[in-house]
Amino acid sequence: MVKVGVIMGSVSDWEVMSAAAETLETFGVAYEKRIVSAHRTPDLLAEYAKTAKSRGIEVIIAGAGGAAHLPGMVASMTTLPVVGVPVKSKALNGLDSLLSIVQMPAGVPVATVAINGAKNAALVAVSILALHDEALALALEDFRRRQTETVLMTELQ
Ligand SMILES: Nc1c(C(=O)O)ncn1[C@@H]1O[C@H](COP(=O)(O)O)[C@@H](O)[C@H]1O
């Protein structure tokens, strides 16, 4: 059953957002990926956000660039946790994306990761799901252990 919704404002975001998909696949988390835009497909956005919970989605990862209203608008229409990924823009290097996602008014949160931080967005989703999934929790601990080992074993040339 699909647990995570990975949505993005444009097909052009996929280059960045595919890292979230790959990470979810590594952990065996079922996800769906969709293009949904607050600006270009506002009705679809409302439908997606309002039906996600009843469809069994537990976390939404939303990536967008520039005037990145998508994550905040989704968050306004669901009580599911929404993780926002500011996608690096050409004009302002993603600072516009970051600020428009992170500066939410109190009461409607978007958990915002770094510019192009799609991998970390997936890891946030995994850690949320792991709260009630023992196997996933063990896999996450194992991931962290292996990551630490890799750093400790790395020798500078
Ligand atoms: N920020 C948004 C939204 C939204 O927030 O609803 N919809 C599309 N976009 C963004 O526009 C950028 C350029 O899109 P195009 O490459 O399609 O012109 C993308 O990074 C997308 O996320």
On whether the pTM is more than 0.90, the answer is yes
Looking from the CA of residue 8, the nearest atom of ligand 1 is 22
Ligand 1 nearest atom to the CA of residue 87, by list position: 20
Q: Which are the contacts of 17, defined by CB distance < 8 A and separation ≥ 6?
A: 6, 8, 33, 61, 63, 85, 87, 118
* Local confidence band at 157 (pLDDT 50, 70, 90 cut-offs): confident
**40 Cβ inside 6 Å of ligand 1:** yes
Tell me whether residue 76 is exposed, middle or buried, using C-beta atoms within 10 angstroms of its C-beta: 0 to 12, 13 to 18, 19 or more. middle
Q: What is the ipTM of this complex?
A: 0.99
Backbone torsions φ then ψ of 39, nearest 5 degrees: -85, -45
Q: Is the CB of 70 under 6 A from ligand 1?
A: yes
Residue 36 Cβ contacting ligand 1 at under 6 Å: no
Indicate the average pLDDT of the chain: 98
- The predicted-structure confidence for 51-101, as pLDDT tens digits, reads as follows 999 999 999 999 999 999 999 999 999 999 999 999 999 999 999 999 999
Distance between CA atoms of residues 107 and 99, nearest Å: 17
Kindly give the distance from the C-alpha atom of residue 30 to the centroid of ligand 1, in angstroms, as a whole number. Answer: 25
Q: Is the CB–ligand 1 distance for residue 41 below 6 Å?
A: no
> What is the structure's pLDDT at 109?
98
